[in-house]
Structure formats: C-alpha cells, structure tokens
A = this chain, B = another copy of it.
C-alpha cells in the first residue's frame, strides 16, 4: 500500500490552491512543516543550482511573517489570482517521504476585469506526514517557467 496516493496528493493541492485564491491565506503556512524550504525561483536559476530566488523561507515562522506583511500592505486588494494545479508525478517515495513534481498555471484577474496568464511552472515537493497523519510540505520549490517575474513577490505561488 502506497503512503502517498495520487488522491491524497491531489486533495492536498486542492486545499493549498483554495486557501490562497479564496482569501484564507493565513492558513497557508500550515501546509508546511516547522522546518521547511519554500523557494520561488526561475528555471534558469534552478538549473544553475542556485538556492537564491525571488522568495526564500526556511521555516514556517518566516512564511507567517510574510503573510502578515502582505495583509498589512493590502496586497490582496489589488488583484485576484486563480491557481490550476496539474497532475502530480511521484518521482520517488520512501518510508514517510515522497518527492513529487506537479505543474501549475496561475491566472491573474485585474481590477478592471481583464484576465491574464500570470505564471506557469512546476512544484518540486518533498512531502511528509504530520503526527496527525496529514500531508505537509517539507519542501516546495516553485520553479517558474518565465525569467521575468518582478511582480511575483506579492502572493504565494
């Protein structure tokens, strides 16, 4: 019996996308383990092995700080976003740990009503289970396909 079924991975990503897009982003850090790596980077940087990225956080506390800052800046007033998370590909799984790659597209809906394809890329995940048995991200490296994502800094991907 596989510990990380496709069904469980998809349910996790459905939850992940929903809390970001539907304005419950305070729950977002709870998708991660205490000790974690969340990195948003480009494909070019990633190929060169650079750990630097547009966003870097290595603990859940840093993710919480980030959300607080975004709330204070009223970032969420400006646009809406919609994630569509694709089919997960399990690269490897061992006792208690799964490496998973999952593609995504994110649309941005501007205040004037126009919609555009904002970002595409893939998640490089390491997933574990919490004591309560729930899936958690020990690592999510968000590798964006585009090189130029200056406005990306606003929301979690």
User: In the complex the two chains form, what is the Cα distance from A130 to B146 in whole Å?
Assistant: 37
Residues of chain B lying within 8 A (CB to CB) of residue A101: 18, 22
**B43 x A80 contact (CB < 8 A):** yes
For the complex of A and B, list the 7 residue pairs with the smallest distance between their C-beta atoms, beginning with the closest. A113-B148, A14-B87, A82-B120, A14-B89, A109-B145, A107-B120, A80-B145
- Produce 1/0 per residue, A75-119, CB < 8 A to B: 000001011111111100000000001111101010111111111
Complex Cα gap A72–B106 (Å): 33
Chain A residues touching B, range: 35 or more
The answer to whether A103 and B21 touch (CB under 8 A), given A15-B89, A117-B116, A121-B82, is yes
- Among A3-11, A28-36, A48-56, the stretch that binds chain B is A3-11
Residues of the B chain whose Cβ atoms lie less than 8 Å from the Cβ of A14: 86-89, 102
